[in-house]
Amino acid sequence: MMAEAIANSIGHGTIEAYSAGVRPSARVDPIAVELMERAGLSAPDHPPRHVREFSAPDSPPLDFVFTLSDTAAGEAPPIWPGHPITAHWSCIDPDQFDDPDERRRALQRTRSELERRLRVFANLPVKSLDRMSLQIHLDELGRPSD
């Protein structure tokens, strides 16, 4: 949900981002909502969605799909409408932390990392790069910055 909020904010109407998961929770994490609001982002007003909502044959075509969880990256990907370019941008899974402070730190790090990656993505000359060049750029963005 953070990636959706960040991308839509950075894109200023040129990016239409959606978020979904292979095992979406019933609600948006309240700590994530707090961090989004502190960063001046509008938290999505819908519950987390399943990837099936975007991979059905009648779903709108997608240009890019980024997986963020290592669980999703390890599963067989659906056939996405529009045959988008895909990349895996591994992020810390906040669900692995029971302690609220550790969870908050993980979510803060994830928000910062996603913002960095999505700012670079939003500034790529998408229309002038061929598919292979875009793939290389997106894969490079997915590498850890540590």
DSSP 98-131: -SHHHHHHHHHHHHHHHHHHHHHHHTS-GGGS-H
How does pLDDT run across 41-98, given as a tens digit for each residue? 988 888 889 999 999 989 999 999 999 988 766 778 889 999 999 999 999 988 899 9
Topology of domain 2-141 in CATH is: Rossmann fold (3.40.50)
Average pLDDT over residues 1-21: 93
140 contacts: CB under 8 Å, gap ≥ 6: none
* Full-model pTM: 0.89
Q: Domain extents for the chain?
A: 2-141
Q: 3 near 10, Cβ under 8 Å?
A: no
